[in-house]
Amino acid sequence: MTSVPLHALGWSEAYAQAAREAIAAASPEVRPSLEPGRVASTGRTSMQVWTAGGPEEASLPGSLRHAAAGGRMLPVIGDWVIVQRPAEPPLRIVEVLPRRTSFARAVQGGLTEQVIAANVDVVFIVTTPDLDFDLPRLGRYVAAVQLSGARPVVLLNKVDAVRDVSPFAEAVAGLSPDLPVHAVSAAVGQGLDALRPYFGEGVTVALIGSSGVGKSTLTNRLLGREAATTGAVRDLDGQGRHTTTTRTLYRLPGGGLLIDNPGLRDIAVWDAGAGGSRFGVIEELATRCRYRGCTHRTEPGCAVRRAVERGEIGADLVVAYAEAQGLSPRKSRRR
């Protein structure tokens, strides 16, 4: 088993303090068997957790699963957890430490979150300059990642297949000030050197994007080995087949960590410090609107539209909020 210092996995003093408090709350006879670890992959009843001793299997006790129904967090990939080391393996996950950021997708029409990864620092939003390219969707991705506290970076993959990528890059760069955009080709290794600086020691990077945009190929290139399964390109639309079905936290040879996510048609990233909702900032602004039931479209005195004009929030985030709430110019919501 390969040992690894916890700080190389993203450990910080904030997590250390939370771990000390969690361990101190346990009974005296249990405390010596408790230690922190980070979730590297998940299953229905078991997970792989990186501890100071290396990767180990850990079980998820029924008591924790039942507690989740009452509002306690279930561990997801990237979480820091407290595990108990019994006399015989596997480890037992007994507590999930507070999350710095939550990476989630919208379910139930965008009104509920499903957390799929935690404690992500940088998000590579992967697209291609072909049929997958959808500027409004990219805008939603960028706005949601910014709201979470993570840093968005857009990757235009498979650029070797187009004659001129500059119109696509310029369109993406216009979504947000200082938004990094990199033209790459994971298949041939083009442009990947520009991505290395994002992977500092302990920094966690997640890949998101539609199925078939080359996330698994990019993962393999960054790792320098065949770790993620890749698929052939479809003749119909030139897109790769969706091959990633599970989320895995990888350690990169030069430092840093990478999460390869299954293809997502649409995602939302929640900021754990903003009340658990990606729309918390809009809901707070809406309380300052001149009219009750403001749709944030054409009404005078709209605080939400003022925030968009000042560049404080993205217009695409407002559109996503309106869609989730069922708002339209002719239909307002009573508050």
Q: Cβ-count burial of 303 within 10 angstroms (0-12 exposed, 13-18 middle, 19+ buried)?
A: middle
Look at the block and give the residue holding tokens 């695409």.
316
Percent of the chain residues topping a pLDDT of 70 = 77
Which pLDDT score, from 0 to 100, does residue 121 have?
94
Which pLDDT score, from 0 to 100, does residue 85 have?
95
* Residues 205-224: tens digit of each pLDDT: 999 888 788 998 999 999 98
* Residues 113-149: tens digit of each pLDDT: 678 789 999 999 999 998 889 898 898 888 878 877 7
Percent of the chain residues topping a pLDDT of 90 = 45
Q: Is 326 left (phi over 0), alpha (psi -120 to 50) or beta?
A: left
Output the six-digit token pair for 232: 């052939």
Output the six-digit token pair for 132: 């997958």
3-state secondary structure of 288: coil
Which pLDDT score, from 0 to 100, does residue 274 have?
42
pLDDT at 189 over 80: yes
pLDDT at 270 over 50: no
Task: For residue 247, name the pLDDT band (cuts at 50, 70, 90).
Answer: confident
Judge contact between 230 and 241, C-beta under 8 A: no
Cα distance between the two ends of the chain: 57
Which residues participate in the annotated binding site? Answer: 157-160, 209-217, 289, 294, 296, 302
Distance of CA 324 to the CA centre of its chain: 20
Distance of CA 54 to the CA centre of its chain: 24
Judge contact between 208 and 219, C-beta under 8 A: no
* Residues 91-117: tens digit of each pLDDT: 999 999 999 888 776 555 455 567 878
Which residues participate in the annotated binding site for GTP? Answer: 157-160, 209-217
pLDDT at 202 over 90: yes
Which residues participate in the annotated binding site for Zn(2+)? Answer: 289, 294, 296, 302
CA distances from 331 to 42, 145, 295 (A): 42, 29, 7
3-state secondary structure of 196: helix
* Residues 75-96: tens digit of each pLDDT: 999 999 999 999 999 999 999 9
